[in-house]
C-alpha cells in the first residue's frame, strides 16, 4: 500500500544466532547450499546482482595477473577463479551474517565445487537441450547484456568527490521529521500540489490520498527517519528542504510524493576524526547509491524519449484479463492459446519511439516480451497504472537491449564467461530440485518418531521436514562423492586462505 510502510526500504537480515553451521566440508554442505540458493533468489532485490558483480570482477582481473585472478580449483577441466570464489563467498557472508573464518572458507570452496559438479553432470545428461534451458539462457543473456552495457556506459563514468562524502557524513548524523502526500501519477500529484497552494491542508488532502487509515488520520505524518530509511529520491528532497517548506511532486519508486519537512536534527559536534574513520566505508556506499540513481535516471530518460502512447481497445481488454474481469489464457505468453482470437492478438497495443521511427507492439508482441520477466512481477500488476508501468519497463528494456547489441558488449569473452557461469547456477538449481524430489520420507518413519518421542503437539509436517532435511543431507553427500569419482577435481587451498575477502589488498 502506498505510504509510510512502502517508502521504508526493505532490509533482509538473517539472525545468525539461529544458524548452526558445521565446518566439516561434508556436514556443513547442506547449510551452505540452502543459503546459496536463497542468496541467488534474493540478492538481486537488495544488492547489485551476483552475475554482474562477477562480470565486473572478470573485467578488472583481466587487466593483469594478481592472486585474485589465479584459480582456486579446477573442476572437470574448468577453473574456479579466485575472484569468482571471493565474490560468491562475500555474497554468502553478507546474506547469512556469518563472519569470515579459515574453516568456513574451506567449507565454502567444497560447496562451490559440488555445485559445479552437479551442474556439469546435469548439463551432460541433456539438460542443455531442453526448452526450459534455452528459455532461461535467453532470459539471462538479456539481463547480462543490459547490466554489462549499463556498467560500461554509466557506472564507469561515475566518481565520488570529497563533497559527496561530506554530505553523506552529515546525513548519517541527521534525523528528519516529515509528512507527505502520495499520488500514483504525475497528473494526480500536480492536482494535489495546486490544491495545497490554494490553501488546502495536508490533513484534509491526506484523507483522500491514503487508503492507509493511520496516514489518512495523521495528515500523512511519517514520524522521524534517518539516512537510507526512505526511497533515495524522497530522501534527497527531505534532507534538502528547510523546516516548514513543501516540495513539488517528486517521483519515487512507488509513484509521486509531496514532502513537507517539520523538523531536522543534526548531531551538534561532528569531528574530522569521525569523518576520517568512516570515509572508506562511505565511499563504497556513496558510489553504489550514485550508480543506482544513474541507472534509474537512464531508464526514466529512455521512457520519456519513447513517447509511449496506448491503443485504448487493446489496453482495456488486456487490463480486464489482468484484473480477472475477463478470462486469461493459461499460458499468457503463448500466441496460440486455445480460445484466443487471432485478431485480438494482432491488435495494436502500444506505440513508441522517435517521430522518424515509431514502432507499434501488438498484444502478441507484448506477451512475447513479457514472458521473460519474473512471474512474481507480472502477478503484482493489478491496476491500469501498474500495467502502464509494466509496459513502460518492457519498452525501456527493449531500448537498452538494442543499444547494448549495437555496442557489441556480448562479443567480449568476459560476457561469455559470465553467461556460462549464470547457466551453471541455473543447471545446479535444476539438479538440486531433482535430487530433492527423489528424496521421500516414509510414513512409517514419522510414526516411529512419534512412538519414540512424547511430543504429540508437534505437527507431522514439521517432523517430515526434519526427516527430509536429514535425508537430503545424506543424499547430497553421497551424490557429491559419486561425482568426485567421475570427474577430476584439483584444489588450491593455500590460495583460498590468502585471499583478501572483505577489503581490497
Give the angle 431-38-397 at the CA atoms, nearest 5°: 90
List beta partners, residue 181. 258
Residue 163 in domain: no
Contacting residues for 428 by C-beta, under 8 A, at least 6 apart: 115, 116, 118, 119, 122
User: Domain check: are 106 and 63 in the same one?
Assistant: yes
Asked whether the predicted pLDDT for residue 69 surpasses 80, the reply is no
User: Domain check: are 76 and 179 in the same one?
Assistant: no
**What's the whole-number average pLDDT of the chain?**
81
User: Domain check: are 72 and 46 in the same one?
Assistant: yes
The DSSP-derived string for 341-383 is -HHHHTSEEEEES-GGG-EEEEHHHHHHHHTTS-HHHHHT--S
**Domain hosting residue 252, numbered range:** 174-266
* Cα torsion 141, 142, 147, 153: sign: positive
Last residue of a domain, one of 406, 426, 461: 406
Please state the pTM of the whole predicted model.
Answer: 0.70
Cα–Cα distance between 222 and 219 in angstroms, integer?
Answer: 9
Contacting residues for 273 by C-beta, under 8 A, at least 6 apart: none
Kindly list the strands in the beta sheet with 221-225, ordered across the sheet, starting from the edge strand earlier in the chain: 221-225, 174-183, 256-266, 250-251
Residue 437 in domain: yes
Residue 149 in domain: no
Cα–Cα distance between 318 and 349 in angstroms, integer?
Answer: 9
Give the chain's domain count. Answer: 3
Residue 82 in domain: yes
Label residue 24 by pLDDT band (50, 70, 90).
very low
User: Domain check: are 436 and 390 in the same one?
Assistant: no
Kindly list the strands in the beta sheet with 489-491, ordered across the sheet, starting from the edge strand earlier in the chain: 78-81, 71-75, 489-491
| Residue range 122-160, pLDDT digits in tens | 999 999 999 999 999 999 999 999 999 999 989 999 999
Last residue of a domain, one of 266, 285, 316: 266
User: Domain check: are 391 and 312 in the same one?
Assistant: yes
Last residue of a domain, one of 352, 380, 406: 406
Residue 3 in domain: no
Question: Under a CB-based contact definition with an 8 Å cutoff, are residues 82 and 447 in contact?
Answer: no
The DSSP-derived string for 91-156 is HHHHHH-PPP-HHHHHHHHHHHHHHHHHHHHHHHTTGGGSHHHHHHHHHHHHHHHHHHHHHHHTGG
- Residue 225: CATH number of its domain: 3.10.50.40
Residue reference for cell 558445521 = 22
| Residue range 398-434, pLDDT digits in tens | 999 999 999 998 998 889 989 999 999 999 999 999 9
User: Domain check: are 18 and 42 in the same one?
Assistant: yes
- 65-98 in b/e form (b: 16+ CB < 10 A) is eeebbbbbbbbbeeebbbbbbbbbbebbbbbbeb
User: Domain check: are 190 and 244 in the same one?
Assistant: yes
| Residue range 323-338, pLDDT digits in tens | 877 665 544 444 444 4
Helix (H, G, I), strand (E, B) or coil at 15: coil
| Residue range 490-502, pLDDT digits in tens | 999 888 888 887 6
- 426-441 in b/e form (b: 16+ CB < 10 A) is bbbbbbbeeeeeebeb
User: Domain check: are 423 and 363 in the same one?
Assistant: no
User: Domain check: are 122 and 74 in the same one?
Assistant: yes
- Residue 434: CATH number of its domain: 1.10.4030
Question: Under a CB-based contact definition with an 8 Å cutoff, are residues 246 and 239 in contact?
Answer: no
Residue 298 in domain: no
User: Domain check: are 260 and 328 in the same one?
Assistant: no
By percentage, how much of the chain surpasses pLDDT 90? 40
User: Domain check: are 330 and 397 in the same one?
Assistant: yes
| Residue range 210-222, pLDDT digits in tens | 877 888 889 899 9
Residue 148 in domain: no
User: Domain check: are 419 and 366 in the same one?
Assistant: no
Residue 120 in domain: yes
Amino acid at each position: 500500500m502506498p505510504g509510510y510502510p512502502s517508502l521504508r526500504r526493505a532490509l533482509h537480515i538473517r539472525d545468525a544466532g539461529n544458524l548452526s553451521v558445521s565446518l566439516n566440508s561434508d556436514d556443513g554442505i547442506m547449510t551452505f547450499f540452502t543459503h546459496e540458493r536463497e542468496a541467488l533468489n534474493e540478492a538481486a532485490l537488495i544488492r547489485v546482482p551476483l552475475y554482474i558483480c562477477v562480470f565486473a570482477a572478470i573485467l578488472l582481473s583481466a587487466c593483469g595477473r594478481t592472486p585474485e585472478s589465479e584459480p582456486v580449483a579446477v573442476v572437470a577441466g574448468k577453473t574456479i577463479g579466485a575472484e569468482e570464489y571471493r565474490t560468491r563467498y562475500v555474497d554468502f557472508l553478507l546474506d547469512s551474517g556469518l563472519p569470515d573464518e579459515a574453516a568456513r572458507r574451506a567449507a565454502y570452496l567444497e560447496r562451490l565445487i559440488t555445485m559445479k559438479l552437479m551442474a556439469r553432470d546435469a548439463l551432460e545428461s541433456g539438460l542443455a537441450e531442453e526448452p526450459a534451458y534455452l528459455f532461461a539462457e535467453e532470459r539471462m543473456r538479456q539481463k547480462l547484456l543490459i547490466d554489462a552495457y549499463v556498467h560500461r556506459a554509466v557506472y564507469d563514468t561515475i566518481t565520488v568527490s570529497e563533497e559527496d562524502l561530506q554530505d553523506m557524513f552529515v546525513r548519517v548524523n541527521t534525523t528528519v521529521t516529515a509528512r507527505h502526500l502520495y499520488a500514483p501519477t504525475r497528473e494526480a500529484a500536480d492536482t494535489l500540489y495546486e490544491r495545497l497552494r490554494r490553501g488546502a491542508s495536508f490533513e484534509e488532502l491526506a484523507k483522500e490520498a491514503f487508503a492507509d487509515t493511520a496516514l489518512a488520520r495523521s495528515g500523512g505524518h511519517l514520524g522521524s527517519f534517518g539516512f537510507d530509511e526512505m526511497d533515495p529520491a524522497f530522501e534527497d528532497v527531505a534532507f534538502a528542504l528547510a523546516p516548514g517548506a513543501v516540495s513539488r511532486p517528486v517521483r519515487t519508486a512507488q509513484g509521486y510524493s509531496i514532502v513537507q519537512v517539520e523538523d531536522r536534527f543534526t548531531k551538534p559536534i561532528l569531528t574530522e576524526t569521525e569523518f576520517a574513520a568512516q570515509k572508506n566505508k562511505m565511499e563504497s556506499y556513496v558510489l553504489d547509491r550514485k550508480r543506482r540513481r544513474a541507472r534509474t535516471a537512464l531508464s526514466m530518460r529512455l521512457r520519456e524519449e519513447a513517447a509511449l502512447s496506448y491503443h485504448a481497445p487493446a489496453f482495456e481488454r488486456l487490463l480486464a484479463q489482468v484484473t480477472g474481469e475477463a478470462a486469461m489464457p493459461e499460458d499468457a505468453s503463448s500466441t496460440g492459446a486455445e480460445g484466443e482470437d487471432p485478431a485480438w492478438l494482432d491488435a495494436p497495443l502500444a506505440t513508441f519511439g522517435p517521430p522518424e521511427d515509431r514502432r507499434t507492439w501488438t498484444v502478441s508482441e507484448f506477451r512475447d516480451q513479457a514472458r521473460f520477466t519474473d512471474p512474481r512481477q507480472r502477478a503484482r500488476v493489478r491496476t491500469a497504472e501498474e500495467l502502464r508501468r509494466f509496459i513502460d519497463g518492457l519498452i525501456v528494456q527493449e531500448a537498452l537491449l538494442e543499444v547494448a547489441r549495437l555496442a557489441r558488449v556480448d562479443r567480449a569473452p568476459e560476457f561469455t564467461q559470465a553467461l556460462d557461469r549464470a547457466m551453471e547456477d541455473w543447471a545446479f538449481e535444476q539438479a538440486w530440485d531433482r535430487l530433492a524430489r527423489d528424496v521421500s520420507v516414509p510414513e512409517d518413519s514419522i510414526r516411529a518418531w512419534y512412538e519414540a518421542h512424547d511430543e504429540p503437539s508437534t505437527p507431522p509436517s514439521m517432523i517430515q521436514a526434519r526427516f527430509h532435511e536429514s535425508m537430503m543431507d545424506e543424499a547430497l553427500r553421497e551424490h557429491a562423492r559419486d561425482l568426485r569419482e567421475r570427474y577430476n577435481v584439483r584444489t588450491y587451498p593455500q590460495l583460498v586462505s590468502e585471499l583478501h575477502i572483505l577489503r581490497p589488498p
